[in-house]
Amino acid sequence: MALDLSSGFAAADAIANLQLADATLPIFEVLPVQLQFSVAADFVAGQAANNVLVIALSNGRILRIDLNKPEDIDDIDLPKKPSEVGVIRRMFLDPTASHLIICTSLGENYYLHSQSRQPRPLARLRGVVIESIAWSPALPTQSTREILIGAADGNIYEAYIETSTEFYRREDKYLKLVQKLPDGPITGLWADSLPGHKDTRRVLVATSSRLFHWVGKIGRGHDSGGGASIYDKLFEAEQPTVHALSGASAAAMSMLVVSPDAEQPSPRFREDEVPERAFAWLSSHGVYHGKLLLKGPLSELGAKVFAEAKLLPRAQLANPEGASRRQLSTEYVDAVALTQWHIVSLVAGRVVIANRLTGSIIYDQTILNPGQKAVGLCVDQQKSTFWLFTPQEIFEIVPRDEDRDIWKIMLQLQQFDAALQYAHTPAEKDAVAIASGDHLVSKGQFLEAAAVYGKSSKPFEEVALTFIDNEQPDALRKYLLTKLGTYKKSAVMQRVMIATWLIEVFMAKLNSLDDTIITGAELSETLNPNQTKEQLEAVRAEFQDFINKHKGDLDRKTVYDVIGSHGREEELLYYANAINDYNYVLSYWVQRERWTEALKVLKKQTDPEVFYRYSSVLMTHAATELVEILMRQSNLNPRNLIPAMLEYDRNYKGPLAQNQAVRYLLYVVNQLGSTDSAVHNTLVSIYASHPSKDESALLEYLESQGEEPNYDPDFALRLCIQHRRVLSCAHIYTSMGQYGAAVDLALAHDEVELASIIADRPISNPQLRKKLWLKVAKKVISQQSDGIKTAIDFLRRCDLLKIEDLIPFFPDFVVIDDFKEEICAALEDYSRNIDALRREMDEASQTAANIKVDIAALDKRYAIVEPGEKCYACGLPLLSRQFFVFPCQHAFHSDCLARRVLEQAPPAKARRIKECQVQISKGLVNGEKREAMIAELDALIASACDYAIRRINEPFIKDDDDKDEWAL
Contact 102, 56 (CB under 8 A): yes
pLDDT-derived band at 377 (thresholds 50, 70, 90) equals: very high
How many residues can be counted in the chain?
968
What does the pLDDT look like over 623-656, one tens digit per residue? 889 888 888 888 889 898 889 888 888 888 888 8
Residues 6+ apart with CB under 8 A from 965: none
Q: Which residue has the higher pLDDT, 782 or 365?
A: 365
The pLDDT value recorded for residue 824 is 66
For 6-44, letters b (16+ CB in 10 Å) and e give: eeebeebebbeeeeeeeeeeebbbbeebebebebebbbb
pLDDT-derived band at 726 (thresholds 50, 70, 90) equals: confident
**Rounded-to-integer distance, Cα 704 and Cα 687, Å:** 14
* SS3 call for 665: helix
Instruction: Report H helices in 525-607.
Output: 529-550, 556-565, 569-578, 582-591, 595-603
Q: Taking residues 233-238, what's their average pLDDT?
A: 93
Candidate from 120-129, 152-161, 296-305, 532-541 with smallest mean pLDDT: 532-541
> CB 93: neighbour CB atoms within 10 A?
28
Residues 6+ apart with CB under 8 A from 516: 522, 523, 529, 532
Candidate from 99-103, 241-245, 687-691 with smallest mean pLDDT: 687-691
Distances in Å between the alpha carbon of 170 and those of 221, 226, 228, 758?
19, 21, 16, 121
Instruction: Report H helices in 460-519.
Output: 460-469, 473-486, 492-519
Residues 6+ apart with CB under 8 A from 909: 901, 940
What does the pLDDT look like over 842-854, one tens digit per residue? 888 888 888 888 7
**Does the pLDDT at position 2 exceed 50?**
no
The pLDDT value recorded for residue 3 is 29
**Rounded-to-integer distance, Cα 263 and Cα 252, Å:** 33
* SS3 call for 254: coil
Angle at 408 between CA 402 and CA 409, to 5 degrees: 80
The phi and psi torsions of 130 (rounded to 5 degrees) equal: -80, 130
**Rounded-to-integer distance, Cα 463 and Cα 116, Å:** 68
**Does the pLDDT at position 516 exceed 90?**
no
Question: Could you give the percent of the chain with pLDDT greater than 70?
Answer: 81
pLDDT-derived band at 10 (thresholds 50, 70, 90) equals: very low
pLDDT-derived band at 406 (thresholds 50, 70, 90) equals: confident
HEC sequence for 804-868 = HHHHHHCCCCCCHHHHHHHHHHHHHHHHHHHHHHHHHHHHHHHHHHHHHHHHHHHCCCCCCCCCC
pLDDT-derived band at 858 (thresholds 50, 70, 90) equals: low
The pLDDT value recorded for residue 552 is 87
Residues 6+ apart with CB under 8 A from 183: 154, 207, 208, 209, 210
What does the pLDDT look like over 863-901, one tens digit per residue? 788 888 888 888 888 888 888 888 777 888 888 888 888
What does the pLDDT look like over 784-795, one tens digit per residue? 555 455 556 555
* H helix count then E strand count, the chain: 34, 30
| DSSP secondary structure code for residue 465 in this structure | H
Q: Which residue has the higher pLDDT, 17 or 757?
A: 757
**Does the pLDDT at position 948 exceed 90?**
no
Q: Which residue has the higher pLDDT, 604 or 756?
A: 604
Q: Which residue has the higher pLDDT, 440 or 399?
A: 399
Q: Taking residues 713-726, what's their average pLDDT?
A: 82
**Does the pLDDT at position 939 exceed 50?**
yes
Distances in Å between the alpha carbon of 249 and those of 344, 638, 912?
21, 103, 148
**Rounded-to-integer distance, Cα 381 and Cα 644, Å:** 83
The phi and psi torsions of 206 (rounded to 5 degrees) equal: -120, 140
For 849-867, letters b (16+ CB in 10 Å) and e give: eeeeeeeeeeeeeeeeeee
**Rounded-to-integer distance, Cα 480 and Cα 501, Å:** 8
Pick the CATH number of 23-260+276-399 from 2.60.40.10, 3.30.1490.20, 2.130.10.10, 3.30.300.20: 2.130.10.10
**Does the pLDDT at position 14 exceed 60?**
no
**Does the pLDDT at position 263 exceed 80?**
no
The pLDDT value recorded for residue 812 is 52
**Does the pLDDT at position 827 exceed 50?**
yes
CA atoms within 13 A on the CB side of 754: 22
What does the pLDDT look like over 297-306, one tens digit per residue? 999 999 999 9
Q: Which amino acid is at 88?
A: I
The pLDDT value recorded for residue 166 is 63
The phi and psi torsions of 964 (rounded to 5 degrees) equal: -65, -30
pTM over 0.85, yes/no? no
Instruction: Report H helices in 309-425.
Output: 314-318, 406-412, 416-422
Q: Which residue has the higher pLDDT, 14 or 445?
A: 445
Candidate from 249-253, 335-339, 902-906 with smallest mean pLDDT: 902-906
State the distance between the two ends of the chain, measured CA to CA, in whole angstroms. Answer: 115
Q: What does the longest C-alpha to C-alpha distance in the chain come to? A: 176
The pLDDT value recorded for residue 787 is 47
Q: Taking residues 596-614, what's their average pLDDT?
A: 84
Helices 726-735 and 752-759: angle between axes, nearest 10 degrees: 10
What does the pLDDT look like over 476-504, one tens digit per residue? 888 888 888 888 888 889 999 999 999 89
Contact 658, 634 (CB under 8 A): no
**Rounded-to-integer distance, Cα 270 and Cα 265, Å:** 9
Candidate from 298-312, 512-526, 825-839, 912-926 with smallest mean pLDDT: 512-526
**Does the pLDDT at position 319 exceed 80?**
no
**Does the pLDDT at position 735 exceed 90?**
no
Q: Which residue has the higher pLDDT, 159 or 251?
A: 159
**Does the pLDDT at position 727 exceed 50?**
yes
pLDDT-derived band at 5 (thresholds 50, 70, 90) equals: very low
Q: Residue 566: which of 511, 613, 620 has the closest Cα?
A: 511
- Whether a cis peptide bond, with omega within 30° of 0, leads into 297 is no
For 94-131, letters b (16+ CB in 10 Å) and e give: bbbbbbbbbbbebbbbbbbbbeeeebbbbebbeebbbb
- State the Cα torsion 670-672-673-676 to the nearest 10°: -110
The pLDDT value recorded for residue 231 is 94
Q: Name the range with the highest mean pLDDT among 301-310, 661-670, 939-948.
A: 301-310
What does the pLDDT look like over 70-110, one tens digit per residue? 888 889 999 999 889 999 999 999 999 999 999 999 999 99
**Does the pLDDT at position 951 exceed 70?**
no
The pLDDT value recorded for residue 15 is 31
**One-character DSSP codes across 877-892:** BGGGS-EEE-TTS-EE
The pLDDT value recorded for residue 825 is 64
Candidate from 14-23, 189-198, 364-373, 466-475 with smallest mean pLDDT: 14-23
If you average pLDDT over every residue of the chain, what do you get? 81
Q: Taking residues 801-824, what's their average pLDDT?
A: 55
**Does the pLDDT at position 357 exceed 70?**
yes
Contact 553, 484 (CB under 8 A): yes
The pLDDT value recorded for residue 16 is 32
**Does the pLDDT at position 20 exceed 50?**
no
Provide the residue ranges of all domains of the chain, joining segments of one domain with +: 23-260+276-399, 405-486, 878-956
